[in-house]
Amino acid sequence: MQLRKAIANAPLNFWTRGQEAEMALDIFFQERRIRIGGIGELRGNGQFVRREALRDCGGWNEQTITDDLDLTLRLHLQQWDIDCLSFPAVEEEGVTTFQQLWHQRNRWAEGGYQRYLDYWPLLLGTRRLSLKKMIDLLSFLLMQYLLPTAFLPDAIAAIILRERPVLSPLGIMAFSLSTIAMYLGVRRAYQRPWWQSAFQTLLGTLYMLHWIPVMVSVTIRMAIRPKRLKWIKTVHHGVPLPTVN
């Protein structure tokens, strides 16, 4: 089971507000992926795993920098399902600077990408996953990892050749779906008026552009370096509790 993550310090600045919109977008997509027979994923904070399931897939993997994403794939390979809930939410402190966000998202991207490389023989060589889950997993790989990585060289080539980017139709579709899903997710998760939800969706969409350079950086690094387990601790400052009179 994975609960929605809420950013406790969301009002602080642009980066924390962006993470708040991102968490609403993530749970919105997750619930709908599960609804059509796709894969639900664990997200660290707010995850609950049965001891029997953990034992069944061999426990935690110490050879990964994102144990939640790694465990997600191994659970599904062992025929366990993961459900996701928007309510209740579990709070976590969002990173407050671009430098902290860059380190955190590079770790998330590298770990998420690495699981496909680690388990592709099991994914392609066996029938442990249903057809719906395989389609969902490959679609997520395309939209979350491959498309953002290919966007930058495609844009550069289009400028040099003075032609329309080859990936523009797919990019427009992905951007439109993400924007609509973020608005619906923000509106549902935080129960705000439509105009506040629309404004946060605009901020969140601008914020999500950071994923493009993150994926380009991670892809280049993974292509020229061997697998590594470098983990940079996320900086936390603590969020003051509300005063009770």
Domain housing 207: 2-224
In-domain check, residue 236: no
In-domain check, residue 237: no
- pTM across the whole model: 0.90
In-domain check, residue 25: yes
In-domain check, residue 233: no
In-domain check, residue 230: no
Residue pLDDT, tens place only, 192-240: 999 999 999 999 999 999 999 999 999 999 988 877 666 666 766 776 6
Q: Which helix (H) or strand (E) holds 67?
A: helix 67-77
Q: What does the pLDDT read at residue 121?
A: 86
- Say how far apart CA 167 and CA 148 lie, in whole Å: 10
Q: Is the pLDDT of residue 122 over 70?
A: yes
Residue pLDDT, tens place only, 63-119: 899 999 999 999 999 999 999 999 999 999 999 999 999 999 999 999 999 999 999
In-domain check, residue 106: yes
In-domain check, residue 219: yes
Contact 88, 3 (CB under 8 A): yes
Token pair 């642009």: residue? 14
Cα–Cα distances (Å) from 67 to 5, 33, 78, 191, 214, in that order, read 17, 21, 16, 32, 20
Number of domains in the chain: 1
